[in-house]
């Protein structure tokens, strides 16, 4: 099974970013026996903007996955209020997704996987075709090594009526030999690079390291982060990370099965300068089938 471009570097990225949520959230999630998932919630984004969300997900036997998502207020309100359908039975190895939000924008995405190759192409545009973006990426996987390329063409309509394309292109590399994963991902036309390393030290302990640099080849900006994920017991996990800006962050997640409940607390501070005041913190509560 080939690795997709989005999964290059994903293991270390998830370890250093997931559950470090600094909003205040209250969510409910319920899964029915016939495959319908209903979820809703509230979030205090950035400690000052209250938003609400509602989502319905189900699998249609005729073609595939359907997702209806609504968001009221907050970040990306119009973009995240959308209807998405994923067609899985058009052809072996091919998935096509069609999505429309209330901006309104329409996006069409095609994913194709066969043998050692994974390819994705996507077109996103508003109804007037004044803002349209074409993106594509592909990967080739051979044994433990994967290499990927991605590109984006952003067409911006000028006042003269002419289109002036804006380009972006990047590279991704990943080598995996259990329990180790090494990855390299670039951004902004390969002017930014992030080197990642993830290792599962034990069944209950993962460690990840990221080092990044900007403005290649000048290397005028650089930094890094090291973190770990420790499963204290079957219901509780602890994540912690520290970066070169001397920010220490930790996240505690506790899960219960009866009743189904998930609690998450995240905290960031800069103790190395003698200041233990929180620079950021968040709290999340999920009721139901998390």
CB atoms within 10 A of CB 14: 14
pLDDT digits (tens, 9 = 90+) for 208-249: 999 999 988 888 899 999 999 999 999 999 999 999 999 999
Please, what's the largest Cα pairwise distance for the chain?
63
For the stretch 167-174, contacts whose Cβ atoms lie closer than 8 Å and that sit 24 or more positions apart, written own/partner, are 171/147, 172/5, 172/8, 172/9, 172/139, 172/146, 172/147, 172/148, 173/8, 173/145, 173/146, 173/147, 173/148, 174/3, 174/8, 174/9, 174/145, 174/146
| Residue 159: pLDDT band with limits 50, 70, 90 | very low
Residue 253 pLDDT: 98
**Which two tokens mark 223?**
């930094």
**H helix count then E strand count, the chain:** 2, 19
CA angle 87, 290, 252 (to 5 degrees): 130
Of the CA atoms within 13 Å of residue 19, those in its CB half-sphere come to: 25
Write down the pTM of the prediction: 0.90
Beta bridge partners of 30: 38
Q: Average model confidence (pLDDT) for the chain?
A: 93
| Residue of 51, 61, 34, 9 lying closest to 183 (CA atoms) | 9
Give the C-alpha separation, 130 to 137, whole Å.
23
Residue 220 pLDDT: 87
Element (H, E) at 77: helix 77-80
Give the C-alpha separation, 164 to 170, whole Å.
20
| Residue of 224, 222, 255, 228 lying closest to 241 (CA atoms) | 228
Domains and CATH numbers, the chain: 5-288 (2.40.160.10)
> Counting every residue, how long is the chain?
290
- Average pLDDT in the 21-35 region? 92
pLDDT digits (tens, 9 = 90+) for 80-128: 999 999 998 888 999 999 999 999 999 999 999 999 999 999 999 998 8
Tell me the C-alpha to C-alpha distance, in Å, between residue 180 and each of 9, 202, 227, 236.
12, 12, 15, 24
Give the C-alpha separation, 270 to 48, whole Å.
23
Residue predicted with more confidence, 62 or 122: 122
């Amino acid at each position: 099974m080939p690795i997709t471009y989005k999964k290059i570097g994903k293991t270390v990225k998830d370890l250093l970013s997931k559950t470090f949520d600094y909003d205040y959230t209250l969510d409910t999630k319920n899964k029915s026996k016939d495959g319908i998932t209903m979820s809703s919630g509230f979030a205090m984004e950035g400690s000052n903007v209250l938003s609400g969300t509602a989502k319905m997900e189900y699998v249609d036997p005729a073609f595939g996955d359907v997702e209806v998502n609504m968001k009221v207020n907050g970040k990306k309100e119009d973009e995240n209020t959308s209807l998405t359908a994923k067609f899985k039975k058009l052809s072996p190895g091919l998935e096509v997704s069609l999505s429309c939000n209330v901006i309104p924008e329409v996006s069409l995405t095609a994913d194709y996987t066969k043998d050692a190759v994974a390819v994705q192409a996507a077109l996103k545009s508003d109804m007037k075709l004044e803002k349209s973006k074409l993106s594509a990426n592909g990967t080739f996987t051979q044994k433990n090594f994967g290499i990927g390329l991605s590109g984006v063409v952003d067409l911006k309509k000028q006042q003269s009526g002419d289109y002036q394309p804006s380009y972006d292109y990047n590279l991704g590399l990943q080598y995996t030999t259990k329990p180790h994963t090494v990855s390299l991902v670039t951004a902004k036309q390969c002017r930014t690079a992030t080197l990642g390393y993830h290792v599962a030290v034990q069944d209950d302990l993962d460690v990840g390291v990221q080092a990044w640099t900007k403005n290649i080849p000048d290397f005028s900006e650089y930094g890094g982060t090291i973190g770990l994920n420790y499963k204290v017991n079957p219901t509780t996990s602890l994540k912690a990370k520290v970066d070169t800006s001397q920010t220490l962050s930790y996240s505690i997640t506790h899960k219960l099965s009866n009743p189904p409940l998930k609690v998450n607390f995240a905290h960031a501070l800069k103790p190395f300068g003698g200041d233990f005041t929180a620079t950021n913190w968040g709290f999340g509560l999920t009721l139901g089938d998390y």
